[in-house]
Structures are given as structure tokens and as C-alpha cells.
Amino acid sequence: MSINFYIESLSLISFLLFLMINFIEIDHNSKINRIIYLLSLLFVGFTNLLYYKYSFINNVSILALITALLLVVIFFMQFLISLFSYEFIRLRLLFIPFFMILIFFRFLNTHDEGSSNQLSRLFQNNYLLIHIFSSLFSYSMLTISAVSSLCVFIKSKFLKKIQYSKIFSNLFPSIYESEVISIRFLYLTSFFLLVSLVSGFMYHFTTYQNIDFFLDEKVILSLICLLLIIFFLIYRAFRGFSVFVTLKIILLSYLFINLAYFGIRLTT
């Protein structure tokens, strides 16, 4: 059996283990369960890092490489935030569908061949390096914001129906905490997205000495996403938005950034 089989198997086992651990009860008093959850995040993060290193050496497609790197960034970011925020840990189940989509997407693109020159070029330019990581961080931050906003929406629906479920109430963070997480990570999203666009512009200009082809579909969609988030944050500060409108705007931004980073690449 090839090393690819073992790495794929290890990655799958680590994710399935992480998936099961997400369903154990974690509260303020369950320190052991919290440690187990944090260790599972580290384990799945390191297996994805191993997968990324293997992908880089074996010339897979750039799309598979970037997806693998995105998973590494997200899992380690989840670990760091979970170290300091119990409320963030309570959002863990809402992240599962997102992780499953990314894992499946990575697997679909694993067997596409890439160019060693293309892969090594990713890390030869400082502007491009900043662009890649700021893009990954902005995507991760917006994902967290979307998940926490979804939690606010679900909990508010239960309150409007005057339905109280102790299990549901204890499983997810409060509406206030979820909203705070959502807005804070929106600010971080706008910052990293701005850094991504500026560094992308600088890379394009220094490489090609012009900006003729800078405004492609990816850049336009990223700009729309950034402007939409900035408009939302400014308008919310003065007038406010309902929970449902907030969720729709964040999901719309999430759609734009997904089309920019994955959708356009799949059609080219």
C-alpha cells in the first residue's frame, strides 16, 4: 500500500475520532472532557498538517493544497480560541457540517496533479505569502461568524416560540455571547480580507508591473464581500439589524467568499 493510503486513512480516522468527541458533554466542571476535546483538535490539526506536507511534496493540485492548508489553519485556530473561551467550545457541533464539506472537497481534489513549480512559487514571494494566509484567516473568521450568527438565530427562534429545552440551552452559548462572537469575528474578517486584497494587489503589481488583469472574478467577489461586511458593521452601529437580517447578510458574505476562493477555481 502507498504512503498516500496511510496518510488518507490517518486523516480520516483523526476526523472521525474528532467527530465523536464533539458529542461528549463539556461544561465548566468537566475539565477532563474539555482536555480530551482540545487534544482531539490538536490531533486532527497535526494529521492535516502531515497531509499538507505530503501534498506539497507530491505535486497535488493547488486547490487541494490550499484546502489542506485551510484545514490546518482552522483546526489550530479552533484549538487556540477554545483554550480561552468556553462559550466558543459550545459552538462545536455547528462546525461539523463545515468541516465535513472541506474534508470531502479536499479528498475530491487530492488526485488531481499539480506542478512542482506552481507549488513552490506559492512561498517564494512575501506578498503572495501574506495574501494566502490572510485569505485563509479571513475565510476562517467569517466561518466562525456565520456559525455563531446561526446559533443566535436558532436560539431566538426557540425563545419566540416560548419553548425551553434544557439540553438545547446548555448545549449552545447564550444569544448575547453568540452575537458578541459573531460581531468580533466579523471585524477580524474585514481586517484580514483587506490585508488579503492589498497584498494580492502588491504581488500582482510587483510581478507583472501593471494592474491590467488584477480585477478578476475572485478579486471582485472578495471586494463585494468586504464592502458588504463594512456596510453591515457601520449600519449596525447606528441603526441595528434584526437577528434574521444579520444572519442573511453574513451568509451572503460567506457565499461570496466561497465563490471567490473555491467556486471560480472549480470552473477554470
Distance CA 149, CA 142 (A): 10
**pLDDT the model gives residue 263:** 56
**pLDDT the model gives residue 35:** 92
Q: ∠118-122-107 over CA atoms, to 5°?
A: 75
* pTM of the entire predicted model: 0.80
Assess whether pLDDT exceeds 80 at residue 94: yes
Predicted confidence (pLDDT) per residue in 40-69, tens digit? 999 999 998 888 887 767 666 677 777 888
Assess whether pLDDT exceeds 60 at residue 229: yes
C-alpha cell at 263: 467556486
245-250 LR contacts (CB < 8 Å, sep 24+): 246/149, 246/152, 246/182, 247/149, 247/150, 247/152, 247/153, 250/142, 250/145, 250/146, 250/149, 250/182, 250/186
Distance CA 54, CA 36 (A): 27
Predicted confidence (pLDDT) per residue in 158-185, tens digit? 766 655 555 556 667 777 888 888 888 9
**pLDDT the model gives residue 194:** 92
Whole-number Cα distances in Å, 197 to 141, 147, 191, 208: 16, 24, 10, 16
C-alpha 55: how far from its chain's center?
A: 20
Instruction: Concatenate the DSSP letters of all residues of 144-170 into one string.
Output: HHHHHHHHHHHHHHHHHTT---HHHHH
Distance CA 178, CA 172 (A): 9
pLDDT band of 150, cuts 50, 70, 90 = confident
DSSP 58: T
* Lowest pLDDT segment from 19-28, 61-70, 80-89, 116-125: 116-125
Which of 179, 67, 78, 62 has its CA nearest to residue 123? 62
**pLDDT the model gives residue 151:** 84
**Helix, strand, coil % in the chain, rounded to nearest 5:** 80, 0, 20
Distance CA 196, CA 202 (A): 10
DSSP 124: T
Average pLDDT, the chain: 80
* Lowest pLDDT segment from 130-134, 213-217, 232-236, 242-246: 213-217
Assess whether pLDDT exceeds 70 at residue 214: no
